[in-house]
Structure 1
């Protein structure tokens, strides 16, 4: 078996965006319009953590508001301004600012581009097997099984 060729370095903006805009099932996936992810970590064969260069158009959101049971997440704003939406409310973020979300915290989060400009940020998260995500504002929960998210209603019915 041959080992796939991996680049040594790339210009992040030149990496093709992810084909599927969202892993969420409908009706949630369509709420991710205006979000584009360039999956950088996979390009280099990273297995322990992922890195995405994410672009939010005006009015777009990063995700549904959520928490992870095992996955730590970190974001670093490169361009534009946006709102970090947590249980505490909205916090303004601008270029050079960062935020982290430790696994197991009950403070759900998402990013909202509530401006008229484009936002660009890096998101980094680990790939802890057995991770679960909960969504306090939506009838949704997720389980990471064999590297894939499996979604269900809060009562356990599958989507």
Structure 2
């Protein structure tokens, strides 16, 4: 049956980011709907941002288009053009290789839920505000290519 019961998909608030950049995600809960559906070409995530949490570090992808739609609550889109309030029904698109670093931050006092759609790990990912770069096939490293210390 194509219908998915969201509550049957485990919510995780982990992040694969190196420890020094992982702090802002303690209040981000993600349900990987695309993985539960066994999608191969793109991912779909149902994301809840608690007040103060952010979706990611500000980033952009070389080979991955991204799309988000806010379902409830509010979030502030932070990108190269500034800060934009997003309310339920608002959508944002991030074409691959456009160089526009972006993230969402819940600056409100209620949880914000959204759906995020993107490809699975294609190409490098750039982080303009921090000394981190996702090298395709090699993982997160510093911008000069050196590895982060082992995480405990």
Partner of 1:34: 27
Distance between the aligned counterparts of 1:78 and 1:37, measured in 2? Answer: 14
The corresponding residue for 2:130 is 138
Corresponding residue of 2:144: 155
Q: TM-score if structure 2 supplies the norm length? A: 0.92
Q: Indicate the larger mover: 8-17 or 118-127.
A: 8-17
How many angstroms does 1:23 deviate by?
1.1
Note closer, same or farther for the CA distance 1:13–1:94 as it changes in structure 2 (3 Å cut). farther
Q: Which residue of 2 aligns with 1:78?
A: 71
Distance in structure 2 (CA, Å) of the matches to 1:66 and 1:102: 12
> Does residue 1:115 correspond to 2:108, yes or no?
yes
Deviations 1:123-158 (A, max 9, x none): 0001253x111111100000232xxx7000011101
* Offset of residue 26 of structure 1: 1.0
Distance apart, 1:54 and its partner CA:
0.2
| Runs of 5+ consecutive residues of structure 2 not aligned to the other structure | none
Match of 2:35, SS state, is: helix
Count the aligned residue pairs: 148
Provide Cα deviations, 1:55-113, integer angstroms capped at 9, x if missing partner.
00000000000010000000010000110000111001000110000000111000010
Structure 1 runs of 4+ with >6 Å offset: none
CA distance in 1, matches of 2:17, 2:69: 23
Tell me how far apart the structure 1 counterparts of residues 65 and 109 of structure 2 sit (CA, whole Å).
Answer: 30
Query: Comparing 70-79 with 119-128, which one deviates more in the overlay?
Result: 119-128
Equivalent position of 1:10 in the other structure:
4
- What secondary structure is seen at the aligned counterpart in 2 of 1:27? helix
Instruction: Output the CA distance in 2 between the equivalents of 1:9 and 1:35.
Output: 24
Q: Normalising by structure 1, report the TM-score.
A: 0.88
